[in-house]
Amino acid sequence: MVRSGDLAVSEVVAFYLNRTKQIADRINSHTYHQVKSVEIQTRELEKRLLAREHLPMAGVPILVKDNICTRDMPTTCASKMLENFRPPFDAHVVARLRHAGAIIFGKTNLDEFAMGSSSENSSFGPTLNPWDLTRVPGGSSGGSAAAVAADLAPVALGSDTGGSIRQPAAFCGIYGLKPTYGTVSRFGLVSYASSLDQIGPFARDICDLALVHDVISGHDPRDSTSRVLDSTNVCEELIRYEPNLNGTKIGLIKELFATGLDTSINAAIQEAADALRKLGAEIREVSIPSLKYSVSSYYLIATAEASANLARYDGIRYGHRTQEPVTSLKDLYKKSRQEGFGREVKQRIMLGTFALSSGYYDAYYGKATQARRLIAHEFNKALEEADFLLSPVAPTTAFRLGEKINDPLTMYLGDICTLGVNLAGLPALSVPCGWDKSNLPIGMQIIGRPLSEKNLLTTARAYERSVGLHLQRQPSL
């Protein structure tokens, strides 16, 4: 509507500024928001519209997780360690969004350095779930998910290392896409676990999700893991798409429907499978026996990489420096890191350092990488039997604030449905598929073959159009 001239950019901006002013503090979804910055971007965009530039995202407000660099806003990773960091450059994805005409509307809250499953581990305080303010929004991209669910922006960016887009999307009743590893550049993403991290979008509508993915995906020579891809315009195709899944084979991962899964989630996904069957899909059961190793192997690999990536924050090269008196260089490192990092980050650094230490490397990190290869092999084998895999996103719906914060093992086990996808480098999508007895959203996970994002989005679009759950209820904020 902005591109056609039916709606002025200033009208869109005014709506979302007003809504942000009313609601953002109630759910603590933002780490940074400044009206002046938005107004400057709006004026620049209006000039580009007058010059008739091609702007596929003209006037679309987008929120960015605060571990993705933005040149005109702080990038804190929700940590005291980086509380004064203002990058001199944009991340690749942010530069692409600006080029496409999007307005960077602010930065969103997260678990510190993206380490967590609830968005409670933040130096800005926890983010609240807009469906129930006593519940978590999921993590670590909880700020982005909560903001989109509360309609503070139509779309947002998150990062997914072990489910950090899909789980909060499910807890907040919106869509979240974890792309194939390497299809979206990680340049400008503050690293947590480099072999697992992937940037992806949140949205309340599949077409919006596809539009953002079309813009941010593609090769970037500054990221050595970035893939060369043909340009796509999935969004335009989805608008014209008629639901039809004839001949599509979808596999239910039997290990993820075992004991411990909430009965309401099981029932919602079985109903979703029936809806897909009515659209022509063939539903069958598949097995990935090695998924039982996914939690242990993920937390060994991720924490090992985190311990190496976060070593740079020592108060000299990067990050917070203590103002307390010190007696040596070692003392400076120790006090700076002790003050700068939160509890969860310290816990993961120590776990990763132990896993990489002399005498334990082969027993822990080496075994974890072997398990990773086995899990990837079994996922690929299952995807030879089926075009897509279907599973829950999490064993439960959104839990209460503080319920699991002192029980890290229970918190880690909550990621069991999503971790394998990152270990295998596959694309996966969280799709709203119902509500539990407490009116909390339920999400299902659709997993595809490498580089099958277009087919994933098409399948989700077929389900969205036939069921339309995303339009039936909204948070009552």
Q: 61-65 and 103-108 as β-strands: parallel, antiparallel, unpaired? A: parallel
Closest by CA position to 372, among listed 160, 196, 192: 196
* Both structure tokens of 14: 């005014």
* Both structure tokens of 342: 């939160």
For residues 140 and 122, what is the distance between their CA atoms, to the nearest angstrom? 10
List, as one string, the DSSP characters of 301-341.
HHHHHHHHHGGGBSSSSBS----S--SSHHHHHHHHHHHHS
Mark out the alpha helices in 155-201 (DSSP H runs): 166-172
Closest by CA position to 226, among listed 58, 413, 93, 136: 93
Half-sphere exposure of 66 (CA within 13 A, CB side): 34
Provide φ and ψ at 418, rounded to 5°: -110, -25
End-to-end CA distance of the chain: 27
Contact 167, 399 (CB under 8 A): no
- Strand pairing partners for 217? 184
For residues 227 and 457, what is the distance between their CA atoms, to the nearest angstrom? 20
The packing angle between helices 294-309 and 343-356, to 10°, is 100
Kindly compute the dihedral angle of the four CA atoms of residues 314, 319, 323, 329, in this order, to the nearest 10 degrees.
20
Mark out the alpha helices in 357-407 (DSSP H runs): 367-385
Mark out the alpha helices in 29-185 (DSSP H runs): 35-50, 92-99, 142-149, 166-172
For residues 86 and 48, what is the distance between their CA atoms, to the nearest angstrom? 26
Nearest-Å Rg of the Cα atoms of the chain is: 21
Residues annotated catalytic, as ranges? 65, 140, 164
DSSP-derived 3-state class of residue 251: strand
What b-and-e string marks burial along 409-441, b requiring 16 or more CB atoms within 10 Å of the CB?
A: eebbebbbbbbbbbbbbbbbbbbbbbbbeeebb
Contact 23, 68 (CB under 8 A): no
